[in-house]
């Protein structure tokens, strides 16, 4: 059993514990998300998944993403070109690093933005509750090309 399969089994289990059923459509959609290292649009997930499961409906992809997001298993990703992309959510507090050439997404941690946020809070009077931070660049593979 690969690491991906293991994780897929975990996700399905979590869905079941929340009262959802295990279905072929969900299995396939979860596999597609877990084996892809970049954020995907619903239509992309649909096209990949339908090759494995003929008859799958795009609407089921939308519905499954909704549930996975509610459980915190996937995360919506905004990019300049598309704002409705989904990616496996990180464990803990991490931020995204996205390759503008191939789309590959990695998480990084270790940002300590607390001092900056305190300064901004003090100056502005805002009570800061959330931050969006995302890096874009060219990955090592794409630099070689």
Partner DNA sequence: CTTATAATTGAAAAACACTTTCAATAATAT
Partner DNA sequence: ATATTATTGAAAGTGTTTTTCAATTATAAG
Q: Where along the sequence are the contacts to Zn ion (CB under 5 A)?
A: 99, 101-102, 104, 139, 142
Strand partners, 85: 77
Q: How far is the CB of 21 from DNA (least distance, A)?
A: 4
For Zn ion, the closer of residues 18 and 37 by Cβ is 37
Per the structure block, which two tokens stand in for 42?
Answer: 């619903």
> Segment 66-85, which members bind DNA (CB under 7 A)?
66, 84
Q: Which residue has the tokens 């989904």?
A: 86
DSSP string, 81-93: S-S-EEEEPPSSS
Q: Is the CA virtual torsion 72, 61, 19, 31 positive or negative?
A: negative
Can residue 111 be called a binding residue for Mn ion (CB under 5 A)?
Answer: yes
Q: Which residues bind a copy of itself (CB under 8 A)?
A: 78, 83, 97, 99-100, 106, 108, 110-112, 116-117, 119-121, 123-140, 143
């Amino acid at each position: 059993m690969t690491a991906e399969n293991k994780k897929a089994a975990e996700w399905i289990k979590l869905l079941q514990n929340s009262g959802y059923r295990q279905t072929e459509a969900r299995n396939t959609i979860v596999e597609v998300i877990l084996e892809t290292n970049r954020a995907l649009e619903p239509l992309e997930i649909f096209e990949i998944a339908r090759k494995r499961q003929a008859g799958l409906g795009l609407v089921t992809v939308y519905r499954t993403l909704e549930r996975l997001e509610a459980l915190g298993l996937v995360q919506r990703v905004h990019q300049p070109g598309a704002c409705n992309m989904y990616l496996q959510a990180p464990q803990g507090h991490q931020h995204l690093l996205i390759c503008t050439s191939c789309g590959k997404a990695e998480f990084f941690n270790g940002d300590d933005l607390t001092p900056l946020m305190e300064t901004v809070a003090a100056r502005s009077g805002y009570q800061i509750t959330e931050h969006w931070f995302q890096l874009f660049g060219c990955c090592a593979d794409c630099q070689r090309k």
